[in-house]
A and B are shown apart, each in its own frame.
Chain A
Amino acid sequence: MIRCVNLSKFYGNVRALDTMNIGVEKGQIYGLIGPNGAGKTTTIKLITGLIKPTSGKVFINGLDMGKDALQAKRYIGYIPDEPFLYERLTPSELMDFKGSLYDMTQKGIDSKKWELLELVGMSEYKNDLIEGFSLGMKQRVAIAIALLPSPGVIIVDEPLVGLDPRGMKRVKEIFFKLAKEGATVFISTHMLNVVEELADRVGVLNRGKLIAEGPIDVLKNSKDEKLETIFFRLFS
């Protein structure tokens, strides 16, 4: 469960995010959509605690990110927009590293890591140094390490950038499955079809302001209005 209350972030005079209020329930997939520079990455960094809000609060499963950050971070699996990983480790070593940060035992890590690397299609490369990987391969490893501690809240920034069609399909399936199993999934993207396919609820962000919010159906004027048309209607 994610809750943002009056969340704002200013970079100097630049208003990256302005009094945002959203709530995402268990088992839901939330799609945050907006053009480049709208403030999606800023929102996600605020939710994961990578940056601190100028004002407002973030709650993860009821825990205040400002006060109980360490506890709240236990529940979050974050997949960043740019998958920077330790280049001189192998996926297998990176999994061990990540698991140890969440106080998992070696046994617990081993029981999950092969399965996860298999799931993202990287088991073949498990002992190769990450520095030789392509962007899409790194993205897959980033997904695998995010899921290792079985997080209840999954936060994904531009999930499908750099993936090939097979990878995209596989990743979408993963998110569906996680949501069905009761995880909260929060996705930001500038790609309309992704939201349309995946999300139960949509938030439309423009220049740091949430200009529309709700289930996809609520946003539609008519039953078969395309999201693309909604999008252009909202931004015009």
Chain B
Amino acid sequence: MRYLLNYFSLRLTMFRHSLRHHRKEFIRYGLFLSFFLFVSVVIFVLLYKAFLFFNSFEIIGEFLIIKLISTIFFVFFIFLILSNVNSLVKWFFTKNDLPFVLTNPVSMTEVFFTRSLEALFESSWAFLLFSIPILLSYYMAVSRFNMTFFISCLLLLPFIIIPHGIAFILVMLLARFVSPKIIKNTFSFLSLILVALLVITFRAIQIEKLARPESFAHLYEYMRFLAIPTHPLLPTSPFIETIVYFTKGFNTTMVINIGFFLSTALALITISYWIHNFFYTTCYTNLKSSSSTIKRDILAKILWFLPMKTKHLFLKEIKNLTRDPKEWSQVFLILALIFVYVYNFKLFPRDRTPLPTIFLESLLSFLNMGLLTFVISAISVRFVYPSFQLEGRPIWILLTSPVSTKELYVKKLILYVPPLLFLSLVLNYLSNKYISPSPILYYMSYGYVALITITSPVISLYFGTKDINFRESPNPYGGIGGVISMLIMLIYAVLTLSILGWSSYWMILFSQQGIIPPFPVRAKFFLTCIVICIATLSMVYYMVVKTIGNLKKIEL
């Protein structure tokens, strides 16, 4: 017990130090917190409305509410198991302080409790944060808000322990046969498939329509046919039942339910503890580091046409990404993003809006350009922004070689810009197919997209190399610099698109009538286009020079 207290006070000290020494951390936690608050509020409002709507139906309404809330918690439950597997592998097998901890006179019990708590917290805090607004919306909509709400919040604690225990048993048993890395990769892949499934399901039920109450009927239909597992032995069932009973007053089944629920949690803790004592040391010492042999190198053959140096720089960069299973998950997410993107334009109810088509098409075309800026800058922040940081500590190989950092920078741009350009042109082509704007806007959108695919990676690389520290592992979400790069791109989009909108307005109107626009109109349009190009390119040039400056300052 003393050890536990010591351990967690040490962790607190570490956290305080990191806050004191990195001012940026403050901003990061602040941004994080506001983001979560925002999402919580959105969840609350949406669910509250949905519950109220369902509640207006007799009998079936309540049934549907229970179904919806069980589905949500069931999905949470599955995700909790998956994320617990990840954290457990990390805290019990791959964390680099393990040799230090295990060679010190620390009892296995202490290792079990500290590590389990770390893994539990790491994998479940987001769930706890989001469950509270869900429960609250349920209580507010279905019954009056009362004290039992707080009790049900407390019940969330055993709720997170159960998937943790299941994951623990899974990991310890599997670790006897396969390397923890394989376990981790397999389960990450599973969660990814689940995310993809959820995204597609969300699109199918068009959840955003919940914002408009009249389309709740749609959800209603959907929920009626939705079959979810509600077997009484599933750990989610007693939880949901208890919550439902809470809103209706006291009941004896409730006591049985709570008892069953709590004892499951306790039993899982005991079993985990027991398994840990039996298996953990053997598993840890038998750790097989999986070494994989690479037999063929198809990539090198594909890139045969490139000069030697460029080819191998590219190969290193590409292999670094493709041989990391974490990065593959990102590719899937991007594919999902693209799917949603194009799908949205396809679904747009153009015939139901009262606006004249010309306005609608132009509006949609500009909206498309704005959204494309968002997509492209998000992808650059994810892949281009950390590309120098990702070099990590092996950067000494490059820095001691006769290659200038400027050359490295240019090669990185050459590597990343073409695929981005390809992606954005394809997206623009697809969305334009559904929008069918006037020719002027059509060609303008291609020009604009080309500009942002150059600007966006340049800005990302500038912020990605500012005060770069190769001892830190990169933040996969880009951190503060990534957020700033995206903000700058969005400001750029708003500025250029408003200027373009202003200068193309008469052009579009004239061409709509089939008249060639008078010279001043044409001159104004072309001049603004040229000015925007020059301004953008000078900004790009300035950023390039600044980035090379950042790179010159690197010391290892």
Residues of A within 8 A of B (CB): 45, 48-52, 70-71, 73-74, 76, 78, 80, 82, 84-90, 93, 96-98, 100-106, 127-129, 131-133, 145
Contacts and interface: CB of A to CB of B under 8 A. Distances in A.
Nearest to B324: A88
A105 B397 contact: no
A91 to B, nearest CB: 10
A80 B393 CA distance: 11
Given A70-B403, A86-B320, A129-B323, 20 more contacts: A45-B556, A50-B400, A74-B402, A80-B396, A86-B394, A86-B397, A89-B319, A93-B316, A100-B313, A101-B309, A101-B312, A101-B402, A105-B308, A106-B308, A127-B295, A128-B291, A128-B294, A129-B292, A129-B293, A131-B291
A102 B312 CA distance: 11
A78 B402 contact: no
Chain B, interface residues (CB within 8 Å), range: 20 to 34
B260 to A, nearest CB: 46
Contact of B292 (A51, A70, A101, A132): A132
Nearest to A101: B401
Contacts of A100: 308-309, 311-313
Contacts of B403: 70, 101
Interface in B243-294: 289-294
Contact of A127 (B294, B397, B556): B294
B308 A103 contact: yes
A76 B293 contact: no
Given A86-B316, A88-B319, A88-B324, A129 B401 contact: no
B194 to A, nearest CB: 26
A97 B315 contact: yes
Contacts of B351: none
Contacts of A50: 396, 399-400, 555-556
Interface in B175-226: none
A176 B292 CA distance: 35
B390 to A, nearest CB: 10
Interface string B319-362: 11001100000000000000000000000000000000000000
29 contacts: A48-B400, A49-B400, A50-B396, A50-B400, A70-B403, A73-B401, A74-B402, A78-B400, A84-B396, A85-B397, A88-B320, A88-B323, A88-B324, A90-B294, A93-B315, A93-B319, A96-B315, A97-B312, A98-B401, A101-B309, A101-B402, A127-B293, A128-B291, A129-B292, A129-B294, A129-B323, A132-B292, A133-B291, A145-B397
A73 to B, nearest CB: 5
A195 to B, nearest CB: 24
B410 to A, nearest CB: 15
A84 B319 contact: no
B549 interface: no
A76 B308 CA distance: 21
A90 B297 CA distance: 11
> Sorted from nearest, which 6 A-B pairs have the closest CB atoms?
A132-B291, A84-B393, A100-B312, A101-B401, A88-B323, A51-B555
A154 to B, nearest CB: 12
B476 interface: no
Nearest to B399: A50
A93 B294 CA distance: 10
Best-surrounded residue of B291, B293, B393, B396 (most CB of chain A within 10 A):
B396
Nearest to B553: A52
A88 B291 CA distance: 11
Given A78-B400, A101-B309, A128 B293 contact: yes
B394 A73 contact: no
Interface string B126-138: 0000000000000
Best-surrounded residue of A101, A104, A105, A106 (most CB of chain B within 10 A):
A101
Nearest to B288: A132
A98 B308 CA distance: 11
B398 interface: yes
B475 interface: no
A137 to B, nearest CB: 10
